[in-house]
């Protein structure tokens, strides 16, 4: 297997998505970085350099960790979604080292992903089917893990005038904070390559000055009821948890198109809740 460059330089935008690895006396400083899937940090592998395994031994552990972290581990897991997360991680690694990983390296991550996922995968699809799909998904990644997606979205939302904020079907008099919050979801949707995106309630509150994460949570739950967004995964709550919720934005563009009948169920209750905020 071909060794990676000795001094990978990870982009500044990955700073919040990188784990520091414990150093050993013989471990090069440049290896003390491990890119992880946003918003969950991977535990850093022990450096194998001092055990004589060399640089490839360490990068193998990193890639296997990525494969395992993104594997399907529940029957409800979607192979396409999990596989695409792995592709985003790999693209972030490639950006960090300044070149594409070779096929041997890609196989390390994919093999671990398939090995852990196998019992939860569709029996009609072969290992080769998933391998080909994974390679294709690497080419589809527009925003690698940690590429500052949230920063881009928040900056865009902050520059929008009131007239440019989304209209919420069934809630004509929505406040600015509600509309800026849904605008953040819209921007993250536009930046997503597969239609879903991660967002914590604390980060949601950054869409509007003075908005608390508790208020953001309440507004988002009301939006779910209105059919504006869908929660794919609830994540884990708590100040020390880095697992954000995963969402899908449901409004067509422009957002003032009529809402689907199924989405109107419970509209009155949700709007009343929003109006009290």
Sequence-separated (6 or more) residues with CB below 8 Å from residue 267: 170, 171, 225, 226
The more confident residue out of 105 and 269 is 105
Does residue 258 register a pLDDT over 60? no
pLDDT, mean of residues 218-241? 81
pTM score, two decimals? Answer: 0.47
Measured distance CA(94)–CA(273) in Å, rounded: 46
Residue 210 confidence class, pLDDT cut points 50, 70, 90: very high
Task: Using a pLDDT cut of 90, give the percent of the chain over it.
Answer: 46
pLDDT at 98: 81
Residue 155, pLDDT > 60, answer: yes
Check residue 210 and report its DSSP letter. T
Which helix (H) or strand (E) segment is 216 a member of?
helix 213-226
Segment 2-49, tens digit of pLDDT: 444 443 443 333 333 334 333 333 333 332 333 333 333 333 333 333
Residue extents of the structural domains in the chain:
12-140, 149-275
Q: Is 90 exceeded by the pLDDT of residue 70?
A: yes
CB half-sphere exposure, 120, CA atoms < 13 A: 18
What pLDDT was estimated at residue 57?
Answer: 77
Q: Which top CATH class is 149-275?
A: mainly alpha
């Amino acid at each position: 297997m071909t060794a990676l460059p000795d001094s990978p330089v990870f982009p500044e935008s990955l700073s919040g998505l990188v784990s520091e690895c414990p150093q050993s006396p013989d471990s090069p400083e440049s290896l003390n970085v491990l890119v992880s899937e946003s918003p969950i940090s991977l535990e850093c592998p022990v450096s194998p350099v001092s055990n004589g395994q060399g640089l490839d031994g360490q990068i193998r552990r990193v890639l296997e960790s990525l494969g395992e972290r993104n594997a399907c581990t529940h029957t409800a897991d979607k192979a396409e979604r999990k596989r695409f997360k792995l592709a985003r991680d790999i693209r972030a690694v490639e950006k960090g080292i300044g070149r594409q990983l070779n096929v041997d390296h890609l196989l390390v991550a994919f093999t671990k992903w398939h090995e852990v996922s196998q019992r939860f995968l569709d029996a009609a699809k072969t290992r080769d089917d998933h391998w080909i799909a994974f390679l294709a998904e690497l080419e589809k990644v527009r925003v690698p893990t940690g590429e500052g997606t949230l920063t881009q979205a928040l900056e865009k939302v902050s520059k929008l005038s009131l007239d440019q904020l989304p209209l919420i079907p069934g809630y004509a008099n929505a406040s600015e904070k509600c509309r800026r919050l849904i605008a953040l979801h819209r921007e993250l949707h536009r930046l997503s390559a597969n239609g879903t995106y991660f967002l914590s309630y604390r980060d949601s509150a950054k869409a509007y000055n003075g908005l608390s994460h508790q208020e953001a949570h309440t507004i988002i739950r009301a939006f779910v009821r209105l059919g504006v967004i869908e929660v794919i995964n609830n994540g884990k709550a708590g100040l020390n948890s880095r697992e954000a919720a995963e969402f899908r934005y449901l409004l067509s563009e422009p957002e003032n198109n009529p809402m689907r009948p199924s989405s109107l169920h419970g509209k009155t209750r949700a709007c009343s809740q929003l109006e009290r905020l």
